[in-house]
């Protein structure tokens, strides 16, 4: 039976995994870095191939954000290696990140990623994990829909901005329809603090105040939206 899905805010479960670069332990292998674990239904499939190429082409952008990538499916190491070789030979793209081999479904089961219709396919999902090994975001996609890697880059950047400045991030940031490239100040917890909010920040009301962050943060986020 598939395991329960780990929750946002929980520690990424400890596991020893076989990958295309050897056996590693998660999340310890990426200690001090963010990492994006993304599962794909199967090797040698068209949508997954386009995704691997897209991730590979943005790998340096992820590294700029102190973020590593790691793939996962219930295929074997042999299958992963042959597929990666095929991508490089036929499409001219080198896959620079490790891929977890999980033919017995142990890892997929522990993360709740075995497909309901078929235990031979992995659910298409994304886990964004911070340097402390805490799961910060989980995304799920249907088998027929490939992911938007620029949005995953934007999410990592936005989470880092949120942590660094103690703010919340509005919809479509940094191109929000109401507050543009500004960020949301956490709501007040006392009457006095609520009144101070109105004096200190730009506000629609005391519970909806916003402020600027350094322009370099905004420009970096905008670049990820244009990295296609």
Omega within 30 of 0 (cis) for the link into 27: yes
Q: What is the CA radius of gyration of the chain?
A: 20
Q: Please state at what angle helix 215-225 crosses helix 149-165, rounded to 10 degrees.
A: 160
* CB 59, CB 38: distance < 8 Å: no
> Quick count: other Cβ atoms within 10 Å of Cβ 225?
16
> Quick count: other Cβ atoms within 10 Å of Cβ 117?
8
Q: In whole angstroms, give the CA distance from residue 32 to residue 132.
A: 7
Residue 65, token pair as written in the block: 């954000």
Closest-CA residue to 71 (of 113, 31, 32): 113
* CB 101, CB 76: distance < 8 Å: yes
Three-state DSSP at 8 gives coil
> Quick count: other Cβ atoms within 10 Å of Cβ 152?
23
H/E stretch holding 179 reads: none
Q: In whole angstroms, give the CA distance from residue 30 to residue 8.
A: 18
Which amino acids are annotated catalytic?
48
């Amino acid at each position: 039976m598939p395991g329960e899905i780990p929750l946002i805010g929980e520690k990424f479960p400890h596991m020893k995994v076989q990958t295309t670069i050897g056996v590693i332990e998660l999340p310890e292998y990426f200690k001090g870095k963010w990492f994006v674990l993304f599962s794909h239904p199967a090797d040698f499939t068209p949508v997954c191939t386009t995704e691997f190429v897209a991730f590979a082409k943005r790998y340096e952008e992820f590294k700029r954000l102190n973020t590593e990538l790691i793939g996962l499916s219930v295929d074997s190491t042999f299958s992963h290696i042959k597929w990666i070789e095929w991508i490089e030979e036929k499409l001219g793209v080198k896959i620079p990140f490790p891929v977890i081999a999980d033919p017995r479904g142990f890892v997929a089961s522990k993360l709740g990623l075995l497909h309901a219709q078929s235990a031979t396919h992995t659910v298409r999902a994304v886990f964004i994990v911070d340097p402390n090994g805490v799961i910060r975001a989980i995304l799920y996609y249907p088998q027929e829909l490939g992911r938007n890697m620029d949005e995953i880059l934007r999410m990592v950047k936005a989470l880092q901005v949120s942590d660094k400045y103690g703010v919340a991030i509005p919809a479509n940031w940094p191109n929000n329809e109401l507050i543009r490239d500004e960020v949301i100040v956490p709501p007040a917890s006392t009457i006095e603090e609520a009144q101070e909010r109105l004096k200190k920040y730009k506000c629609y009301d005391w519970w909806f105040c916003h402020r600027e962050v350094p322009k370099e943060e905004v420009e970096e986020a905008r670049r990820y939206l244009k990295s296609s």
